[in-house]
A and B are shown apart, each in its own frame.
Chain A
Amino acid sequence: MLKFLGLRAIRYAVMIFGVTTLSYLMAVSFFDPALQMVEASSGAEIDPEISYQRVQETLARLKLDPDQNALERYGVWIRDVVTAWDWGRTPNGGRVNDEFGTRLWISTQLTLAATVLTFVIGVALGVFSAARQYRLGDRLTTGYSYLTMVLPTPVAFLLVQRLAIWFNEATGTTTFYVAGFRSVGVDGFWNQALDMAAHYAVPTFAMTVFGWAGMQISQRQYLLDFVNSDFVRTARATGLTRNQAILRHALRVSFIPTAQSLAYTIPALFTGTVFAEVVFNWDGLGSWSMRALISQDVNATVAMTAYGCVIFAIGALLADVFTSIVDPRVRL
């Protein structure tokens, strides 16, 4: 088991390295932060040539010289990452390590509850609707899932946000906060906890309610594949009721593909977090990486790529572990 997981981990480590390298080279050759900065500071300098030179000097000091050869720059960058764990600077002079670190915690807080809720509710509803195929409960849950799957995520989140605002206005209070992740100047443990809950409720609700659809539909499909199989029929022939047969024989088998699909739901979650942070105005990794892309910030973009790859690898390894737990045929 450990040997297998170790081999997988090495494989993913190689892939992470490859993808990060690719993204660095792509970002270096496509991005031109100097031009952006000159445009942003236009008006401050009268002569654009001087301002361009000044921007270039600043960037060179931050090891972001746009005129340097891409491979040379990559060499400098990878040496810093490997030897000093220094992921470089942003064009504004901030350290990627620090900016990433503070936001990592914010994003994790936002995602964790929503992830667990999405997974648990999705699987539970999938089992429920498969056991009641084509009855009212199944029609309602599956229909709802299809509806949320075709609704674009930003539209869905905007609607939830408006709903919360409407609720606040209707009750004349500020029960829910729809922007930001905490208020300034709240003291005391309980007050802070309440404040946190008020900020978390809306994004978590939005991510959960519009997130479980994929899980529900696939779990329903997996279970249905097994409900009509021979071994369940045999189990029923021995005198079990339909529900008992499903519970004891079909359910566990149907968890195998669910566990395997875990790896591929993680990237989707990454995307979902980006939208939640942009719509609900959280200063987490998602909105940070969008700002990095728009301001053509090479180092921050590459750091986010590496983070996304690591998250994916963790999901894939977890999928392997879960598969080996639920699938008796897999002996690691």
Chain B
Amino acid sequence: MSMTPLSAAQGAAVPTDVDPELEPVRAADFRPLGKKRLILQRFLRNRPALLGMVLLAALGLFALFGHLLTPWHYTEQDFLSLGAPPSAEHRLGTNSAGVDMVALLAQGARTSLMIGMVVGIATPVISLVIGCAMAYLGGWVDRAWMWVIESLIMFPQIILLGIIMSGRGGGPVLLALIMVMFGWMTSARLVRGMAGSFVDRDFVRAARFMGVRPMTIIRRHVAPNLASLAIINATTSIWGAILAEISLSFLGIGITIPETSLGLMISQARSYLFSQPWMFWTPVLTFMLIVGGLALINDGLRDALDPESTAGGKATS
């Protein structure tokens, strides 16, 4: 690993004024920092990124346990307070159907985060595998997949999802799966382009001549070179998925009642922007916090994974 000589040199450079007899002992103690730990340390040193992690963890906890904060259930209607402003009984008010906003928000955040996690992690992995395979195998495999990808990009996304989702009860799990199935094309094209510069390198050729099977080469030699791209892609595709869910639910082809999500809450608040602003602003602000946390993490990851970046401090332990 390229980091080893550098860290070794620095490790050796520090104790110059120490008793020379201790030197061999220290050298034996010294273990080079692994790549993963190095990246982790660089990431943890980044204060804004940590803030993002904390923010996201807090939102995750709220999504998981938020329903304990209120005696109401998110499908339960309080007919005595329809569209009531925040009060002691309903701490974030109720919506126009009389549902407690805390319960609704917890469930909505849970759905949206679930969709974000599933889509945001599965999509980059799929596009990484397909993109690398296309670049490595080349020939007719590449061309055939390119046709598939271009055709799927050509298919208007809203209509494609609408055909499958409409009249199907709008469950969040189905929506997430469909978003994964039809969401990998653009980044697979990107990965294919970037992997193209690796497939002719000597280490890949060496592996091929040694008789390693193609899938193993892709997994062991090509894909890891693009892993940092995929990791950064993952954070952006998490918020992309949450954003897409909001858009689809707003149009009535995403999540539908009795389920709930941030998008459905925004769409329900559409006509109450002035009269019951809490209905609109709570989901919007929650979404903003999720995106803010992800953006900070994304920045931190970018700095931690980029070997030339100095934003996270020098590469010393």
Contacts and interface: CB of A to CB of B under 8 A. Distances in A.
Given A154-B246, A305-B155, A309-B154, A15 B147 contact: yes
A296 B167 contact: yes
A16 B155 CA distance: 9
Contacts of A30: 163-164, 166-168
A38 B268 CA distance: 26
Q: Which of B162, B164, B239, B253 counts the most A-chain CB atoms under 10 A from its CB?
A: B162
Interface in A1-54: 15-16, 18-19, 22-23, 26-27, 30-32, 35-36
A26 B273 contact: no
A167 interface: no
Interface string A86-117: 00000000000000000000000000000000
A251 interface: no
B237 to A, nearest CB: 14
A313 B160 contact: no
A274 B250 CA distance: 11
Interface in B116-172: 147, 150-151, 153-160, 162-164, 166-168
Nearest to A161: B273
Nearest to B292: A150
B243 interface: yes
Nearest to A30: B163
Interface stretch (B74-82, B94-102, B283-291): B283-291
A154 B250 contact: yes
B163 A293 contact: yes
B267 interface: yes
B295 interface: yes
B159 A308 contact: yes
Contacts of A145: none
Nearest to A12: B154
A264 B157 CA distance: 12
B4 to A, nearest CB: 31
Interface string B158-189: 11101110111000000000000000001000
A201 B247 CA distance: 23
A152 B159 contact: no
Contacts of B252: 290, 294
B264 to A, nearest CB: 12
Contacts of B168: 30
Chain B interface mostly:
helix
Contact of B159 (A18, A36, A162, A289): A289
Contacts of B295: 146, 150
Contact of A267 (B157, B251, B274): B157
A26 B161 CA distance: 11
Contacts of B156: 267, 270-271, 304-305, 308-309
B154 A271 contact: no
B270 interface: yes
Contacts of B167: 30-32, 35-36, 296
A312 interface: yes
Contacts of A154: 246-247, 250, 266-267
Interface size class of B (residues with CB under 8 A): 35 or more
Nearest to A154: B250
Interface in A243-289: 264, 267, 270-271, 274-275, 278, 289
A270 B153 CA distance: 13
B166 A31 contact: yes
A206 interface: no
Contacts of A305: 155-156, 159-160
A94 B150 CA distance: 33
Contacts of A26: 163-164
Given A152-B246, A162-B273, A293 B162 contact: yes
A301 B162 contact: yes
A289 B284 CA distance: 26
A193 to B, nearest CB: 31
Contact of B151 (A18, A267, A289): A18
A323 interface: no
A102 B307 CA distance: 57
Q: Which of A158, A301, A304, A313 counts the most B-chain CB atoms under 10 A from its CB?
A: A158
Interface string A157-171: 010001000000000
A269 to B, nearest CB: 11
Interface in B243-268: 243, 246-247, 250-253, 263, 266-267
Interface string B223-242: 00000000000000001000
Contacts of A204: none
Contacts of B163: 23, 26-27, 30-31, 293, 301
A270 B284 CA distance: 24
A76 interface: no
Given A154-B246, A154-B266, A162 B274 contact: yes
Given A23-B159, A296-B166, A301-B162, A267 B153 contact: yes
Given A152-B287, A162-B273, A309-B155, 19 more contacts: A15-B154, A18-B151, A19-B151, A23-B155, A26-B163, A31-B163, A150-B288, A152-B246, A152-B263, A152-B284, A267-B153, A293-B166, A294-B252, A294-B253, A305-B156, A305-B160, A308-B155, A308-B156, A309-B154
4 tightest A-B CB contacts, nearest first: A308-B156, A293-B162, A154-B250, A152-B246
11 contacts: A19-B154, A23-B160, A150-B239, A153-B247, A154-B246, A158-B270, A274-B158, A293-B159, A293-B166, A301-B163, A309-B154
